[in-house]
Structures are given as structure tokens and as C-alpha cells.
Amino acid sequence: MAGDVGSSGTAKAPWHLWVIGLLALLWYVSGTATIQLAQLGKLPGITPDEAAYYAAKPAWAIMVTAVGTYGSVLATILLLLRRKASVVLFALALAAVLGGNGVELIEGTSRAYANTGAAFAIAAIAAIAIGLALYARAMRMRDVLH
């Protein structure tokens, strides 16, 4: 039951932590692999305009993307391990996702301008990042994380 306390003094993990954590891990690992392959020019089926987009990214943008992607994977692993540090990493990854996409929107270089599918994907990525950051915070506040 939610609210039960385990031997470590923290609340027992609710069933949804495992479901959300595993789904998030699949989401972030697949997304990170896709972005990494695209940035290396090795993503199968990438269109020439997408390849040009990734090739033109400045180093700072690649670094921000790495913080957002790899940070999210690590945050999810820490969530599954029930570590409080996941909250900080989810917040850092969220800042990278929102900041990086925000700059690209302002500069007019965002893939959101390419087509509706890309705009939807970017919005979904941001919404999921926000949701997971809030979820990790809620789990910390319920003493599920230690």
C-alpha cells in the first residue's frame, strides 16, 4: 500500500513507479539512441534536410542535447533505484530540453518549423519531460526516494 514504510525508513515504492520508470527508460533510451545516430549521420532513413539540421548544430547545442538526453536516461535509472538525485537530474534534463528547444524556436532553426510531425514530437518530448520531473518530485515528497 502507498504510505507503507520499508526497513530503510522510506515509503514502499508504489506499483506505478515501476511502470512509469520502465516506460520512461524505454522512451529515453530509444530517443537518446535516435538523436545520437542522427548527430553522427548514421540514422537509417534520415532525410537530407534532417541530416543538414544535425550537421549544422553548433557545439553548445549538441552539449545541451546531450544533457537533455543522457541526463534523462540517468535520471530514470536513478528513479528506478529510488534515489533522490533523480529529481535534480530530471530538472536539469528538463531545463536542457526546454532551453535548447526554446533557443531554436527563437532562432528559427527548430525542426518544429519543418512539419507538423516534428512540432508534435517536440511538444510531446517537452510534456513528458515536465511530467516525469513532476512525478519524481512527487515521489520524493512522499518519501519513496532515498
Q: Which residue has the cell 517536440?
A: 122
pLDDT digits (tens, 9 = 90+) for 28-87: 999 999 999 999 999 999 989 899 999 999 999 999 999 999 999 999 999 999 999 999
Torsion sign across C-alpha atoms 64, 117, 115, 131: negative
Phi first, then psi, for residue 93 (nearest 5°) are -65, -40
For residue 10, name the pLDDT band (cuts at 50, 70, 90). confident
Contact between residue 44 and residue 26 where contact means Cβ atoms under 8 Å apart = no
Q: How many CB atoms lie within 10 A of CB 85?
A: 15
Domain layout of the chain by residue ranges: 15-141
| DSSP bridge partners of 11 | 5
pLDDT digits (tens, 9 = 90+) for 120-144: 999 999 999 999 999 999 999 999 9
For residue 7, name the pLDDT band (cuts at 50, 70, 90). low
User: Could you tell me where the DSSP H helices lie in 56-107?
Assistant: 59-80, 85-107
**More confident of the two residues 80 and 3:** 80
Which grid coordinates are listed for 97?
A: 530540453
Q: Quick one: pLDDT at residue 1? A: 45
Contact between residue 24 and residue 132 where contact means Cβ atoms under 8 Å apart = yes
Q: Quick one: pLDDT at residue 28? A: 98
Q: Quick one: pLDDT at residue 2? A: 46
- pTM above 0.85? yes
